[in-house]
């Protein structure tokens, strides 16, 4: 089994902003369960306690130091390596909590982190180096002879674009990081990695088009078969209605009505709402542009006519938080929202206790929430983008296999139409139950995706040893 060094800027439950944290944690856990030795490396943002800690200095360029490794066991993760560097420990990994703006020295923070990861690679000589998103993408440029390298693109939306001067600090093949008048960390890894994994097969195709390639479609096209798509999984130790302690009663795909009804009563009780025969729709999302919050709030005028009620759990950008709060003020009998925090228990209750799950993302490399919703028996209503297309089968187009509803067009009219179709299906009990049961029966775990990763590591390892 290959020895993998896995570098990421987020890891649940200790450093969590979005899906990157869940995906990193879920994949690492599944790889380890398959016997792969994975050293997972995360920036030391402060406040993370390790059991049995050992610590030693790393040999990094002077601008990036001093840097130290802290190695130990973290709760909920297992073996973990933290890299402690000046400027890394902050209350939020990327943004200043007051202003919501990115930390002005994020280039220094994450290029320095990448330089430190490279130093660790030199020290520990892994068989495979696995990088995730722009925060770790510069690592290859700090290695004279990099091991076989995998880059996972969780989103092309953030590339880590920074001043051209940074190229002078990248010692090896820095031209790969050059992008017009700037330095583009993600691009450098796209040009250098042996394998590029997009987080779903459809996203791997989408990013080759000018409209979805965020300026890099030609660069990606050039990599040919090095680019593949593997969908994410969900962590079924956390997301499993048969053993979820946040729910009043466990349930499974053969008997879910009572358990879900009880979860709904509890959910509605939180907002002082009473049960009715009309559907409750749920949202669990970061409030960022990508998530189509404008489409969601556009539903407001339709709610009374559908009729349906909407429960939203989400926090993030202040402008979008305001949009959601305005929606609650305009439609107090139809919309309830929690926007000031992520509430784990409420998230579980929404997945179990709503009748439809809304996900109108403008783009979505994979998306995890739609899989969590289906695992809990809540059919998703989503836009036809990215991994949503790979994971949801439209129940009007495919009567026998449908698991949710996908928009026909990427605009408010398309979204309203999909919601209408979903509510219509909800009203026909036998149809509704079939859609729910099919979604619950699919294996959404990391098992198969992790197997595909192991295959890639193995192929890269073989190619490397035949070079020697
Ligand atoms: C990013 C993407 C999301 C994906 C997650 C994990 O958050 O936006 O679609 O599921 O990364 O890969």
Let me know whether 199 and 290 are in one domain.
no
Let me know whether 68 and 145 are in one domain.
yes
- Is 90 exceeded by the pLDDT of residue 284? yes
The pLDDT tens digits of the residues spanning 394-406 come to 999 999 999 999 9
Percentage of the residues of the chain whose pLDDT score is greater than 70: 100
Let me know whether 201 and 78 are in one domain.
yes
- Is 90 exceeded by the pLDDT of residue 88? yes
In a domain, 245, yes or no: no
Domain region containing 337: 256-441
Mean pLDDT, the chain, whole residue set: 96
Please give the tally of structural domains in the chain.
Answer: 2
Least Cα distance to 295 among 239, 343, 361 occurs for 361
336 touches 311 (CB < 8 A) = yes
Question: What pLDDT is attached to residue 23?
Answer: 97
β-strand pairing of 182-183 with 178-179: antiparallel
In a domain, 239, yes or no: no
> In 3-state terms, what secondary structure has residue 441?
helix
Let me know whether 98 and 195 are in one domain.
yes
Nearest alpha carbon, ligand 1 atom 10: 367
> In 3-state terms, what secondary structure has residue 429?
helix
User: Taking the model in full, what pTM does it have?
Assistant: 0.95
Whole-number Å distance, alpha carbon 286 to ligand 1 midpoint, is 11
Which residues form the pocket of ligand 1, taking CB atoms under 6 Å from any ligand atom?
18-20, 23, 154-155, 199, 232, 364-368
Give the confidence band of 468 by pLDDT, cuts at 50, 70, 90: low
Sign of the torsion formed by the C-alpha atoms of 176, 180, 181 and 183: negative
Give the confidence band of 202 by pLDDT, cuts at 50, 70, 90: very high
Ligand 1 mutation target, pool 9, 134, 136, 232, most atoms within 8 A of CB:
232
Least Cα distance to 70 among 62, 61, 59, 81 occurs for 81
Let me know whether 170 and 287 are in one domain.
no
Separation CA 60–CA 65 (nearest Å): 6
Whole-number Å distance, alpha carbon 204 to ligand 1 midpoint, is 13
Let me know whether 27 and 161 are in one domain.
yes
Let me know whether 369 and 400 are in one domain.
yes
Ligand 1 mutation target, pool 214, 365, 369, 380, most atoms within 8 A of CB:
365
Let me know whether 424 and 461 are in one domain.
no
The pLDDT tens digits of the residues spanning 291-304 come to 999 999 999 999 99
Average pLDDT over residues 265-292: 96
Let me know whether 153 and 273 are in one domain.
no
Q: Can you give the CATH number for the domain in which 94 is found?
A: 3.40.50.2000
262 touches 346 (CB < 8 A) = no
In a domain, 16, yes or no: yes
Separation CA 203–CA 286 (nearest Å): 20
Nearest alpha carbon, ligand 1 atom 3: 367
Separation CA 363–CA 170 (nearest Å): 32
């Amino acid at each position: 089994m290959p020895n993998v060094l896995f570098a990421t800027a987020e890891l649940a439950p200790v450093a969590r902003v979005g899906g990157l944290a869940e995906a990193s944690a879920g994949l690492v856990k599944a790889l380890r369960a398959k016997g792969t030795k994975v050293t997972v490396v995360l920036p030391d943002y402060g406040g993370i306690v390790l059991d049995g800690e050992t610590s030693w200095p790393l040999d990094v360029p002077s601008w990036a130091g001093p840097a130290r490794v802290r190695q130990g066991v973290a709760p909920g993760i297992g073996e973990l390596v933290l890299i402690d560097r000046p400027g890394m420990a902050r209350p939020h990994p990327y943004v200043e909590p007051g202003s919501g703006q990115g930390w002005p020295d994020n280039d220094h923070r994450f290029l320095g982190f990448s330089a430190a990861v490279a130093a660790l690679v030199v020290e520990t000589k892994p068989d495979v180096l696995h990088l995730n998103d722009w925060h770790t993408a510069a690592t290859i440029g700090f290695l004279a002879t990099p091991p076989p390298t995998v880059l996972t693109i969780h989103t092309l939306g953030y590339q880590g674009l920074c001043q051209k001067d940074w190229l002078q600090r990248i010692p090896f093949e820095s031209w790969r990081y050059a992008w017009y008048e700037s330095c583009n960390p993600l691009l450098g890894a796209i040009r250098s990695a042996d394998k590029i994994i997009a987080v779903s097969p459809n996203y791997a195709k989408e990013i080759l088009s000018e409209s979805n390639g965020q300026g890099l479609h030609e660069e990606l096209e050039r990599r040919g078969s090095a680019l593949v798509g593997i969908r994410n999984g969900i962590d079924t130790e956390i997301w499993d209605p048969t053993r979820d302690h946040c729910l009043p009663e466990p349930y499974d795909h053969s008997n879910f009505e009572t358990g879900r009804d009880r979860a709904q009563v509890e959910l509605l009780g939180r907002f002082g709402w009473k049960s009715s025969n009309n559907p409750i729709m749920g949202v669990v999302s970061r409030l960022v542009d990508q998530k189509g919050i404008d489409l969601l709030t556009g539903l407001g005028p339709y709610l009374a006519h559908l009729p349906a009620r909407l429960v939203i759990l989400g926090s993030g950008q202040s402008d979008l938080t305001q949009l959601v709060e305005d929606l609650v003020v305009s439609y107090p009998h139809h919309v309830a929202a929690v926007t000031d925090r992520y509430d784990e228990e409420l998230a579980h209750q929404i997945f179990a206790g709503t009748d439809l799950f809304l996900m109108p993302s403008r783009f979505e490399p994979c998306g995890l929430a739609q899989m969590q919703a289906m695992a809990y028996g809540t059919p998703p209503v989503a836009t036809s983008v990215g991994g949503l297309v790979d994971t949801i089968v439209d129940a009007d187009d495919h009567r026998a296999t449908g698991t949710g509803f996908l928009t026909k067009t990427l605009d408010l009219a398309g979204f309203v139409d999909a919601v209408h179709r979903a509510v219509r299906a909800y009203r026909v009990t036998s149809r509704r139950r079939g859609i729910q049961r099919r979604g619950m029966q699919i294996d959404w775990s990391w098992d198969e995706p992790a197997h595909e990763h192991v295959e890639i590591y193995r192929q890269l390892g073989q190619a490397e040893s035949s070079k020697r």
